């Protein structure tokens, strides 16, 4: 062997085997040793006629249902998005109304609180108290305190 300055290339045995197998398969597939024109027609005659099997019909029906469900799902998704947007608009409107009402009631409360004059302390206390006798069962019983405040409102303390 002569050395021409080129290193020998290592051959992968697995790659060589795969290449050999592929070439053998190609030779078998391209083999034209048959009956000529009748070769392909015999295979066609031996195959049964193509009919839809129940499984294929069921699969097709399932596909139709799935596509209909997808369309329905898209419609429901669009409807849900619209309802959610409407809810947000309504919620924002309610929040703005509540803010305006709270500002107005706060201004009214502050204007009442500013009108302090001597001797009107009990009137201010009476405005802050709830004199409604109907109370919640879970709340503390404040009926005695209410009666004391009502009595003080009617006859204020004298100093």
Average pLDDT value for residue range 31-49? 55
| pLDDT tens readout for residues 77-96 | 999 999 999 999 999 999 99
- Mark whether 65 and 108 lie in a shared domain: yes
Q: Are residues 126 and 150 in the same domain?
A: yes
pLDDT of residue 28: 81
Expressed as residue numbers, the domain containing 129 is 117-159
3-state secondary structure 47-61: CCCCCCCHHHHHHHH
| pLDDT cut 90: percent of the chain above it | 19
Angle between helices 121-128 and 143-154 (to 10 degrees): 150
pLDDT tens-digit map of 107-136: 988 887 776 677 677 777 777 776 676 766
Is residue 102 located within the same domain as residue 133? Answer: no
Statement to judge: residues 131 and 159 lie in one domain: yes
Based on the fold, state whether residues 101 and 122 are members of the same structural domain.
no
- Start-end of H helices in the chain: 13-29, 38-46, 54-114, 121-128, 143-154
Looking at the structure, tell me whether residues 111 and 63 fall in a common domain.
yes
């Amino acid at each position: 062997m002569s050395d021409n300055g080129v290193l020998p290339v290592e051959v992968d045995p697995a790659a060589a085997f795969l290449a050999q197998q592929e070439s053998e398969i190609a030779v078998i597939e391209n083999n034209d040793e048959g009956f000529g024109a009748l070769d392909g027609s015999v295979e066609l005659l031996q195959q049964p006629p193509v009919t839809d099997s129940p499984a294929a019909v069921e699969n097709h029906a399932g596909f139709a249902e799935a596509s209909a469900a997808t369309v329905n799902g898209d419609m429901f998704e669009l409807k849900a998005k619209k309802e959610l947007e409407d809810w947000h608009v309504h919620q924002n409107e309610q929040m703005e109304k509540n803010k305006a009402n709270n500002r107005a009631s706060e201004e009214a409360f502050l204007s009442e609180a500013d009108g302090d004059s001597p001797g009107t302390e009990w009137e201010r206390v009476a405005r802050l108290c709830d004199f409604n006798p109907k109370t919640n069962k879970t709340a503390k019983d404040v009926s005695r305190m209410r009666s004391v405040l009502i009595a003080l409102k009617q006859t204020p303390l004298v100093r």
